[in-house]
Amino acid sequence: MDRQAFYVTTPIYYVNDRPHIGHAYTTILADVLARYHRLLGGPTRFLTGTDEHGQKVQQAATREGLTPKEQADRTVVRFQELWKTLEITNDDFIRTTEPRHTSVVKKILQDLYTRGEIYRADYDGWYCVPCERFFTEKDIEGQSCPDCHRPVERIQEANYFFRMSRHQQWLIQYIQEHPAFIQPEARRNETLGFLRRPLTDLCISRPKRRLNWGIELPFDPDYVCYVWFDALVNYISAVGYLADDAAFARWWPASLQLIGKDILTTHTVYWPTMLHAMGLPLPETVFAHGWWLVGENKMSKTDGNVVNPMEMAERYGVDAFRYFLMAEMVLGQDAGFTEEAFVRRYNTDLANDLGNVLSRVLHLIGASCGGKLPAAGALGPEEIRLRDTTLAAAETMRGAIAGMRLDLGLAAVGGVLREANRYIDGRKPWALAKAGGDMAALGTVLYTAAETLRIVSALLFPVMPGKMAELRAALGMAHIAPDMAGLKEWGRLTPGVTVGAVQALFPRIRSAAAAPELQAKTAPVAAAAPVLKKDATPLPEGVAPIEYADFMKVQLRTARILTAEKVPAADKLLRLTVDIGGATRQIVAGISQHYAPETLIGKTVVVVVNLKPAKIRGLESQGMLLAATSGGTMRIVTVDGDLPPGAVVK
């Protein structure tokens, strides 16, 4: 990817059914890469679209009582709406039924036919309808398709063939001389292994008597074009081939063509031989990513185990869904998808690591600096360590983009956030903020942490654009676009800028059972509630029994105390701010006669989080601190061991 212009494509998706997680993953990946390259400042073009011809579309239309075009028009909207929901920023969306595409396909077919690259012959062999591909006798596995393992059918008919075999030796040499063309290396080796056998010529037609939904061959009106030959042309028809020479020269060859590994042969054998026959250069890289698995099985509509991306985005948020997909899969390898894994990564990476740093920094700036970002003094060893870790992560991300290892780039950002949390714990800004504290040191700590968040927000912006825009607005950068070049510099935040309040970007999820349908499966049944027997030990005097269901209404969480101060003219009250897993709350507690404010900072306590807010001495209290009393002694309930804020107390 040495050229300045960056042109990235996804496969175009069949309009025979709804989009699933496989479609969403490839498109989000292309979007993230396109966004990164836009931040780098180079010309960027991102293409996606839909494949609307072929037997599968015709069959789907027949099942629905529609014409194929009506089926395509109805289904394409599902993809377009999902891309809007997932904040996909494609520059173009091509449909293979558009005249700009069909006219180019016809011109290519006519040219290849005229030059003898396409010829007519009789065919006798096996055909897979779902894959829309012909197979030789040695390819099939017991009359099953070698790709999808569904039954194939025997077909005998006259057809038109592209002389793909003519280009086999050239393709082998090209792949060997251009190691970046097919990535990752395992897919390159797979293609070379496929090419060890003699290539057969590619059937590029279907007779209208069997299939009439396709682009008519310009040299024989009784046939339509094979859907794969038609579909692959979209990558060049969308950027002006045979229509706009200037646009085509600007964008072709493509920098990166993203595909799933199940369509490797079509993109690394069919497509390059077609381009070579046309006299066109090949894309710089075709990258085949892995599959999303449920257990050990690939997600597939046939098996009924696909994940609906629209539902996941609605349940957990678009940005969290995008982040999980990018962070969880090592590009080129398969990855497992479970809702439990999603929730675990969400809580760890987003609610705990990112949310904790943000809430602590913003609250302390608001409470101790009047909402204005303080200036930093001289950096000490701790500040230098955090600065260097952050700047190193920016460089790691650059390498991860170029090397197609986004998971490593995101892991480096996660390391920055964990280092930032350790930095804050070690420097204890809440102690520096107390009356008579070291305000200069406080300014250095808060500025350093805020500057770390600035760089993190830029690195994560292509992955989570909505949430990172909120974070940047809170840092006083609402109208300042992320700048990848600026990530080499430390200290770009302007002291004195007003820092805004922000709600928890990623409220902690209790468990995967937070989803309503999962909750229904895992909720305790009524019979599980404890029942007092007649001869049970009596309750203490003055204690009335309650139902188990009543007790379950109380939600207890761990919370870390960030600040504590006396309420003026109130002998017993302290005003506390606490971190509850990425969200900060104010609690007014009657513990002043038992605890000095400074002794509470940093303690992990237990609070009731679903208590209705109440006004106490004019201050809103958003929860209740748990404490025990005996005689004249009071002790707050704390946690034995190290638990993060927001942990469920059972």
Retrieve residue 458's tokens. 């830029």
Residue 549 has what pLDDT? 44
Classify 358 as helix, strand or coil: helix
CB 434 within 8 A of CB 455: no
Give the position of tokens 């309650």. Answer: 546
In-domain check, residue 594: yes
Same domain, 466 and 592: no
- Could you tell me the mean pLDDT of each successive run of 10 residues in the chain, 650 residues long? 79 87 94 95 96 90 92 93 96 97 98 98 83 76 80 90 98 98 97 95 93 95 95 98 97 98 96 98 97 69 67 91 95 88 94 94 92 95 97 95 94 96 95 83 97 97 96 92 86 94 83 43 28 43 52 74 81 83 80 78 83 82 84 76 68
Tally of structural domains, the chain:
2
DSSP state of 146: T
294: amino acid identity, one letter: V
Residue 513 has what pLDDT? 52
CATH number for position 629? 2.40.50.140
DSSP state of 371: T
In-domain check, residue 111: no
Residue-level length of the chain: 650
Same domain, 420 and 545: no
Classify 104 as helix, strand or coil: helix
217: exposed, middle or buried (Cβ count in 10 Å: 0-12, 13-18, 19+)? buried
- To the nearest 10°, the Cα dihedral for 463, 464, 470, 476? -10
Same domain, 357 and 449: yes
Q: Which residue, of 426, 453, 488, is where some domain finishes?
A: 488
In-domain check, residue 415: yes
Q: Which residues pair with 589 in a beta bridge?
A: 574
Cα 94 from Cα 57, distance rounded (Å): 17
309-316 vs 318-328: helix crossing angle, rounded to 10: 120
Q: How far is CA 440 from CA 363, 369, 446, 447, 482, in A?
A: 18, 11, 10, 11, 29
pTM (two decimals): 0.77
Q: Measuring CA to CA, which residue among 337, 334, 332, 326 is closest to residue 289?
A: 332
Which structural domain range is residue 612 located in? Answer: 540-649
Same domain, 472 and 591: no
Q: Is 385 left (phi over 0), alpha (psi -120 to 50) or beta?
A: alpha
DSSP-assigned states of every residue in 303-342: TT----HHHHHHHH-HHHHHHHHHHHPPTTS-EE--HHHH
Q: Measuring CA to CA, which residue among 156, 152, 164 is closest to residue 202?
A: 164
Same domain, 412 and 482: yes
User: String of b and e for 623-645 (b: at least 16 CB within 10 Å)?
Assistant: bbbebeeeeeeeebeeeeeeebb
Q: How far is CA 278 from CA 8, 32, 109, 550, in A?
A: 21, 32, 10, 74
In-domain check, residue 547: yes
Same domain, 356 and 478: yes
Cα 114 from Cα 116, distance rounded (Å): 6
Same domain, 347 and 466: yes
Beta-carbon contacts of residue 630 (< 8 Å; ≥ 6 apart): none
Beta-carbon contacts of residue 363 (< 8 Å; ≥ 6 apart): 562, 563, 577, 579, 584
CB atoms closer than 10 angstroms to residue 46: 23
Cα 599 from Cα 360, distance rounded (Å): 18
Give the position of tokens 């139902």. Answer: 547
Cα 21 from Cα 272, distance rounded (Å): 28
Retrieve residue 282's tokens. 């090949």
In-domain check, residue 118: no
104: amino acid identity, one letter: V
CB 307 within 8 A of CB 337: yes
In-domain check, residue 457: yes
Q: Measuring CA to CA, which residue among 27, 33, 73 is closest to residue 400?
A: 33
CATH number for position 433? 1.10.730.10
Give the chain's radius of gyration (CA, Å): 31
Give the position of tokens 């010529």. Answer: 201
In-domain check, residue 566: yes
Beta-carbon contacts of residue 565 (< 8 Å; ≥ 6 apart): 574, 575, 597
Same domain, 483 and 562: no
Same domain, 476 and 581: no
Q: Which residue, of 468, 488, 508, is where some domain finishes?
A: 488
In-domain check, residue 626: yes
Same domain, 472 and 577: no
